[in-house]
Structure 1
Amino acid sequence: MSCNKLNTFVRNRVSEILDITSSRNWRHVPTHENPADLISRGVEPSAMKSLDLWWSGPKFLQQDITTWPNSFKDLETLPEIKSNISLIANDFTYNLDSKLIKFERFSRFSRLHRCVCYVLRFIKLCKTRSVLPFSFSPEELEHSLNIIIIQSQKESFSEYNLLLNDKG
C-alpha cells in the first residue's frame, strides 16, 4: 500500500505499522463486524454489556482462517486521503477568455484595477515563489491596465478574435 496519498497523521501511523508487521497478515474487517465501529456508531455504554460483538469479536475469528472475509478497502475511497490541489498558471495576457474577473461586479475602475493587479501578483508568486513589496510597481499597474483593456476589447468587439487570427 502506498502511504503517500494519506494525510500526515494517518500516513505516519500506517508507515509505522507497516514497518513492524508483514502486509500478508493484514485483513479488512467489514464495518458491521468491527467492534471498534460500535463506539463511532453511538452505541450507549449501558448497551455494550450485552453486545457479543464487543466482548467476543466477530464470529468469523472463531472459524478457520480460509473462511475469513478477504475484502480490502480501496485506497482511493478512504476519508483520510489528501485532496490534490494543483495550479496551472498560463500567461494571463493570452488566456483571458475564461473571464476570471467579472468586470460587472466592480462599481469603480480603481477597485477592478487593484483586483487584476492582485491576481497577476498571485500568479507571479506561484510561478517564482519570490517575495514582492507591499505596493504595486509601475510595471504591475501598467500590465494590469493592459489586461483590462484587452479583455474589454474582446468583450466589446466580436472582430477582435478574427483580427488576432488574421481572418479579418
Structure 2
Amino acid sequence: MKKILLILLLVILYSNIDINGYCDDYYIDNKLNRFIENKVDSRYILLYLNYNYKSIEDKSLKETIIDKFILYNEKYLDLYQTQFDNMYEKNVKNLQTKQNLKSELNILNNIYSYDDINNHKFNFIDNKPNIVRDLKKIYLRGYKIIINNNKFKLTVNYDFLKKAY
C-alpha cells in the first residue's frame, strides 16, 4: 500500500498535476465577475485572487482583473471611510493611541503582500483589539489609510494591488 501511494505521489509530482483542480484564466475572470455581481466583500475577493492570480498566464487578462477589482473597491470607498471614522471615534480617545495608530499605519502602508498584512503583528496598538480587527479588515480589502493634516483618509491601495499581483 505504501508503494502504491509513493508511486502515485511521484506520478503527480512528475506530471505537475494541479491537485486542487484545473482552472483556466477565464474561469477565474468569470468567478471574479460573479463575486462583483453578488457584492461579495473585497476581503474574500482579494483572498481568492491571492491564491489564483498566479496561475493566470494571459497578461492582458491579469491587468483587466486588477482593474475590475480596483473599480469595485472605488465604488465602496465612502462606505468603508464611514466605518473607519466610526471606529476611530469609538476607540481612539487619547493622543497616545492616535500616535500609535499613526505609527502602525506607516508600517502597514509599506506592506505589499496579502499574507504579510494578514500575519502582521500590531506592536503599537496590540492592546486595542477593535482597532486591530478593523484595520486588518480595511487593509485586507485592498485599501490603505493616508494621514494628511492629522486626518485619516481611506484610499484604494493601488501600489499593493499592482505590486502584489
Give the TM interval when normalised to the shorter protein.
under 0.3
Kindly indicate which of the two structures has a greater share of residues assigned to strand. Answer: 2
Which structure would you say has the larger Rg? 1
Of the two structures, which has the highest relative contact order with CA contacts closer than 8 Å and spacing of 6 or more?
2
Instruction: Give TM-score, length-normalised by structure 1.
Output: 0.23
**Higher helix content, 1 or 2:** 2
Query: TM-score scaled by structure 2?
Result: 0.24
